[in-house]
Amino acid sequence: MKNRSYDLVVFDWDGTLLDSTGAIVKAIQAASRDIGVAPPSDEKARYVIGMGLREALQYAVPDLAESRYDALVNAYRRHYLSGDHELTLFEGVETLLQELRAEHRWLAVATGKSRVGLDRALGHSGLGHYFDTTRTADQTRSKPHPQMLEEIIGQFGVDPERTLMIGDTTHDLQMAQSAGAHGLAITHGAHPLDVLLECQPVGVVDSIPDLANWIKRSG
């Protein structure tokens, strides 16, 4: 792989590797009903996926009194965690990670989940050993701020231009742009294609097998 373009490959988690978009939307809506406020639309709830949880809920349910967001956060966690063990990875994820490891690339996760939430997800999925490092929204600033990705890049001393950030939302792609990295959009998650294209990703794929082929050709 002497001629490869990327030494560091960073993945978003929800909606990119894990098929969790629908579950997150339903948990946001159910949590809103629990505390007696109108739930956000599917579109609005999908938009906030990838952001840190509190920031996401403040955007999705903007008219709530500040003192009530803790209750909304707790209700969301209750609903999401009741079924997260049943969520599945997108087809081809583990095969892709195995291939990238065999090519001696650094692999990382940059996610809007909490540290506890990501560790739980990595445990359920069995993927933790594939990643050299991970960052969560409660360890650093939430997407789309670049700090999360900048910390990962700095940990390995990699040129940002040789870093590929893969995600299903504009938050991922904007973070990559701001960090000087390349963002690649995958369309099977939270944000629609037309919105992703506005961020001018270096590539667009529709599935994990498509992603594997893109990396073989261009990565």
Q: Which of 7, 14, 132, 172 is catalytic?
A: 14
Q: What φ, ψ does residue 107 adopt, rounded to 5°?
A: -125, 140
Residue 19 a catalytic site member: no
pLDDT in tens, 1-41: 457 899 999 999 999 999 999 999 999 999 999 999 999 99
Give CA–CA dist 145/151, Å, rounded: 12
In this predicted structure, what is the pLDDT of residue 4?
A: 87
Whether the CB-CB separation of 162 and 7 falls below 8 Å is answered with yes
Contact of 110 with 175, CB cutoff 8 Å: yes
Please indicate whether residue 12 is annotated as part of the active site.
yes
Among the listed residues 7, 12, 194, 210, the single catalytic one is 12
Q: How many of the other CB atoms lie within 10 Å of CB of 33? A: 12
157 contacts: CB under 8 Å, gap ≥ 6: none
Per residue in 47-66, pLDDT (tens digit) is: 999 999 999 999 999 999 99
d(CA 59, CA 76): 14
**Residue ranges of domains in the chain, CATH in brackets:** 8-19+87-218 (3.40.50.1000), 21-85 (1.10.150)
Q: What is the pTM of this model?
A: 0.94
pLDDT digits (tens, 9 = 90+) for 197-213: 999 999 999 999 999 99
